């Protein structure tokens, strides 16, 4: 099938992973907000994505048709048979404003299944919007050695699996197509066993001053926290979502292997970005802790991970002020004003009761880094 596909987001998933699994005959174009990437690819009509396969790197030279700065694409949308969104959940609002006149299929590969309902409501379209779960870690960068060999915009990706709603088979060479119920189960596993633990590692790694996920994941104290997090979340998936133990064990083992993979070069700042979004009441950190509490599971490891997120300091991040708010407000006000947690909520009580202990543990980590 010679289809034309427009991908919003020329980042880790968009240019790192999708070229490996989309139909080889498809013509790819991109929409990107990052001016450096746009300018680079307007000068260079190809890029390299590197995949880890059998513990070795293999490369793919990707030729694409066009790259647009956001807004430039609006006149050309109906030339495309499929639009894929993987530019970040905060981008859904702005992207939706450009899609009102688009008549074909839209696939959402964002880290929030609620984006589907949001987009359906905004566009008043209910039959052509689909969800997918890319069960993969793709880095938006690469090692110095890879960049030197294949170019400075090279990326590294795992040989992952993409789970997609049915009716999109023609656009893919490599994907698993599921009904909505089975796709939702895959999303739940990814949300908690991958996203929650991935975030905890990233915020812990930031505190210690490391650059890549594999560096923090391979430290002894991190592995203890990893195992405790997996234990709490596994109980949650069994009790609340009726996901079988065999699936959970497989998923947890796979996650531990990918987090510690020294070939991947997954940047901590990529995973840790936008901490306020990840600390929303129904998101992967506080949301996971609340669900654990509601199901009689004490979220000891998860609550420490939440506290680690409060200490994220990156001036380039849109949520850079989180650590300043934590240090300038008293702890009760910080939880209520900055995070929207009421004082009588159980997760607030857990955080307040352990505040000094968590602070002490973090200071010890900083001293030993």
End-of-domain residue from the set 133, 157, 177: 177
Q: The domain containing residue 196 runs over which residues?
A: 183-368
What DSSP letter does each residue of 127-189 carry, written as one string?
A: SSEEEEEEE--EESS--HHHHHHH-TT-EEEE--EEEEETT-GGGBSS-EEE-HHHHHHHHHH
Task: Please check whether residues 170 and 205 belong to one and the same domain.
Answer: no
Of 161, 177, 193, which residue constitutes the final position of a domain? 177
> Tens digit of pLDDT for each residue in 26-71?
999 999 999 999 999 999 889 999 999 999 999 999 999 999 999 9
Considering the domain architecture, whether residues 79 and 209 belong to the same structural domain is answered as no
3-state SS class at 243: coil
| Cα–Cα distance measured from residue 241 to residue 235, given in angstroms and rounded to the nearest whole number | 10
Question: Do 364 and 322 have their domain in common?
Answer: yes
Summarize pLDDT for 181-222 with one digit per residue, the tens.
999 999 999 999 999 999 999 999 999 999 999 999 999 999
- Give the number of other Cβ atoms within 10 Å of residue 170's Cβ: 12
Same domain assignment for residues 201 and 323: yes
Distance CA 82, CA 105 (A): 5
Beta-ladder partners of 156: 50, 139
* 263, two tokens: 């070939």
Indicate whether 214 and 233 sit together in one domain: yes
| CB-based burial label for 336 (10 Å; 0-12, 13-18, 19+) | middle
70 and 138 part of one domain: yes
Q: Which residues, including other chains, have CB under 8 Å from residue 288's CB and lie 6 or more apart?
A: 192, 196, 233, 236, 299, 302
What tens digit of pLDDT does each residue of 152-172 get? 889 999 999 999 998 999 999
Q: Do 160 and 200 belong together in one domain?
A: no
The rounded mean pLDDT for the chain is 94
Domain match, 207 and 275 both? yes
Residues 105 and 201 in one domain: no
Q: Which segment of 34-38, 74-78, 90-94, 200-204 scores lowest on mean pLDDT? A: 90-94
Q: Is the pLDDT of residue 369 over 70?
A: no
Count of structural domains, the chain: 2
Residues 167 and 297 in one domain: no
Q: How far apart are CA 113 and CA 31, in angstroms?
A: 22
At 274-303, the pLDDT tens digits run 999 999 998 999 999 999 999 999 999 999
148, 177, 206 - which closes a domain: 177
130 pLDDT above the threshold of 90: yes
DSSP code at position 110: S
């Amino acid at each position: 099938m010679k289809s034309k596909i427009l991908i919003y987001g020329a980042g880790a998933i968009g240019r790192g992973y999708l070229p490996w699994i989309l139909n080889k005959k498809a013509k790819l174009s991109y929409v990107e907000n990052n001016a450096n990437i746009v300018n680079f690819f307007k000068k260079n009509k190809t890029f390299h994505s590197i995949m880890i396969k059998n513990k070795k790197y293999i490369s793919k030279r990707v030729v694409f048709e066009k790259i647009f700065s956001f807004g430039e694409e609006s006149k050309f949308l109906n030339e495309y048979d499929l639009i894929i969104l993987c530019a970040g959940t905060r981008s859904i609002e702005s992207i939706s404003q450009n899609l009102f006149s688009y008549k074909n299929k839209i696939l959402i590969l964002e880290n929030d299944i609620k984006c589907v309902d949001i987009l359906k409501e905004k566009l008043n379209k209910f039959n052509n919007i689909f969800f997918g779960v890319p069960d993969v870690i793709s880095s938006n960068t690469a090692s110095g050695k890879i960049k030197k060999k294949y170019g400075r915009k090279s990326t590294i990706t795992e040989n992952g699996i993409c789970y997609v709603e049915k009716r999109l088979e023609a656009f893919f060479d490599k994907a698993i197509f599921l009904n909505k119920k089975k796709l939702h189960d895959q999303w739940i596993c990814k949300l908690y066993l991958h996203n929650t633990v991935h975030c905890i590692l990233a915020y812990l790694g930031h505190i210690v001053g490391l650059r890549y996920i594999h560096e923090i994941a391979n430290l002894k104290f991190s592995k203890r926290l990893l195992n405790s997090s997996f234990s709490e979340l596994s109980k949650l998936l069994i009790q609340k979502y009726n996901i079988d133990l065999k699936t959970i064990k497989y998923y947890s083992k796979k996650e531990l292997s990918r987090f510690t993979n020294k070939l991947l070069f997954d940047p901590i700042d990529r995973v840790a970005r936008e901490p306020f979004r990840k600390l929303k009441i129904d998101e992967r950190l506080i949301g996971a802790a609340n669900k654990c509490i509601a199901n009689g599971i004490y979220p000891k490891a998860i609550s420490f991970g939440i506290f680690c997120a409060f200490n994220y300091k990156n001036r380039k991040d849109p949520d850079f002020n989180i650590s300043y708010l934590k240090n300038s407000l008293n702890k009760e006000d910080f939880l209520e004003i900055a995070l929207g947690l009421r004082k009588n909520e159980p997760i607030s009580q857990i955080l307040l009761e352990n505040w000094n202990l968590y602070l002490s543990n973090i200071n010890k980590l900083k001293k030993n880094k």
